[in-house]
Structure 1
Amino acid sequence: MFRRTAAFAVLVWFFGFVWFAVTLPGPLDTNRTSDAIIVLTGSKGRIEHALALLKRGEAPRLFVSGVDPEVRPAEFAAEFAVPARLMSCCVELGFEAYNTRSNAIETARWVAEHKVRTIRLVTADWHMRRARLDLQRELPKGIVLEPDAVPSHPSLSALFLEYHKLLWRLASQYWEK
């Protein structure tokens, strides 16, 4: 009986990993507006994508969660070629987050403070499921969260690690209930 149960558990884990790796979330359709764009710092392309959305008018403001505390707004603007006018009116940097969980906490505070009702979440495709799960856990009820994943080419080891982080997060949510 133990062997069958163990074999079944391994099969569920394996096919779960295959599903996770093969069905990475994709970008959101363009021309969909929201109250704010939230981008989580990390891999290449995230901030650039979020800024492009902001410049196209798909949201009136952008919150960047997880910016290194040593980065100054002027440095950020120079790094990503953000015009001063856009930086002053529409881009806010968050310096408190240091991981996905703290991104969710930092973002939820910002959302409540700015009375945001609809969010476009930008992060890497491999990171989206866990980031969305953490953010939904922290946000007030009724907030619409639309995932906009930046396509990437994650390594097998990155996918393997992220899959286990997601499983751990799901399990910890279950245990907390």
Structure 2
Amino acid sequence: MTAVLVRSAMLLALAWIAGFVWFVLSLPEPAADNIRTEGIVVLTGGPGRIARGVDLLRAGKAERLLISGVDASVRPIELAIELNVPADVFDCCIDLGKEAADTRGNGEEIAAWVKQHEYKSVRLVTSQFHIKRATAEARARIGSGVRLVPDAVPARLSARLLALEYSKFLFRRLLLLMGEA
């Protein structure tokens, strides 16, 4: 019995290590700038994400931008000033999602926004270590009828950060496979 448990634990550890290597080696790059979608969604939480989304919007790569996971105390005018974006651009084209507190909540916020605007294509902008889990959460909620373009923002990476994100990714994928949205 003990030998079976040890072997099982070793196989599980080897599977985790092999998956981790795949996860690290397949970290995505930013999506091509020539791709146009109806909407852009940026997940807050890391440097360069919001700037990337705003730059894409300014370049005409989408009609609207959702910044998901914005703190409830943030006012659009404050963010407009910080990002050097005219207030009228915020009024017409940038939405602040203030409901999401985590990646799962981002997925729900994205799905509601996509449905509200009846979009069939959305670019998802977040850090490269986070893009796989964010894409899985969004895909689980928006369904397969919407083209989702992952757009990874390069980030400072550490083994600890990657191991933690890979573990979260595995856990959420398992729950999503079991039907737990």
Q: Which residue in 2 is equivalent to 1:158?
A: 161
Aligned counterpart for 1:24 among listed residues 14, 27, 30: 27
| 1:3-152 matches, cutoff 5 A | 3-152=6-155
Q: Which residue in 2 is equivalent to 1:168?
A: 171
Aligned alpha-carbon RMSD (Å): 1.4
Letter in 1 for 2:35: R
| Alpha-carbon offset, residue 136 of structure 1 | 0.4
| Alpha-carbon offset, residue 6 of structure 1 | 3.0
Separation in 2, partners of 1:12, 1:106: 33
Separation in 2, partners of 1:106, 1:90: 17
Letter in 1 for 2:34: N
Q: Which consecutive residues of structure 1, in runs of 5 or more, have no partner in the other structure?
A: none
| Alpha-carbon offset, residue 79 of structure 1 | 1.2
Q: TM-score with structure 2 length normalisation?
A: 0.93
Secondary structure of the 2:20 match is helix
Letter in 2 for 1:35: E
- TM-superposition CA deviations, 1:125-159 (whole Å, max 9, x none): 00000000000001044010010000112221111
Deviates more, 1:25-34 or 1:79-88: 79-88
- TM-superposition CA deviations, 1:68-115 (whole Å, max 9, x none): 000000011011111122111111111111100001101111110111
Aligned residues: 177
Separation in 1, partners of 2:131, 2:42: 11
What fraction of aligned residue pairs are identical, expressed as a percent? 43
Q: TM-score with structure 1 length normalisation?
A: 0.95
Q: Which consecutive residues of structure 2, in runs of 5 or more, have no partner in the other structure?
A: none
| Alpha-carbon offset, residue 10 of structure 1 | 1.6
Deviates more, 1:101-110 or 1:2-11: 2-11
Separation in 2, partners of 1:103, 1:60: 20
Letter in 2 for 1:143: V
Separation in 2, partners of 1:124, 1:66: 14
